[in-house]
Amino acid sequence: MDSVSIISLFVGIIGTMIAVYQAAIIRESKKRASELQYILAGINNAALQKQQAWQNQISTLPKLESSQDWEMGRLYLRAKDDFAEIASLTIALEGTIDVDHSAIKDMMDKSIDIVKKNNQLQEEGMKNPLFTQGHRATEA
């Protein structure tokens, strides 16, 4: 082998190593972006749950009559609105990571599927003859 062939082989090996390294870096950066999206999706989910919790608290408030009652009502509404804002911000931040894929949407779709399956399980449980016989025995 002459020196040009050896140098050419050496450059080819280095080029291949660089290409493999770049592919690994790209793959890892996509994983990190996906991880960040799912972290934001978790924050979004928690913010939506807190927003609903505040809405539940608002719905249990007695009739607002005094100025203190109104101030408390405003604070509850403000807390609910703050969590809605956090949820909106996480959606915007997640969209900057990958506009074609949404971890928030994936989590919501998964939640809907879980609820549907849970409802199906409950329906099947209601068909259980032991349950219906026990239910009739308590009615008698």
Give 30-58 pLDDT, tens digit per residue: 777 788 888 999 999 999 999 999 999 99
Q: Is pLDDT above 70 for 92? A: yes
Task: For residues 115-132, give the mean pLDDT.
Answer: 84
Show the DSSP H helices in 60-102 as ranges.
67-97
DSSP code at position 2: -
Phi first, then psi: give them for residue 101, nearest 5 degrees: -135, 135
DSSP code at position 98: -
Q: What is the mean pLDDT of the chain?
A: 85
Could you tell me the sign of the dihedral formed by the alpha carbons of 101, 104, 110, 115, in that order?
Answer: negative
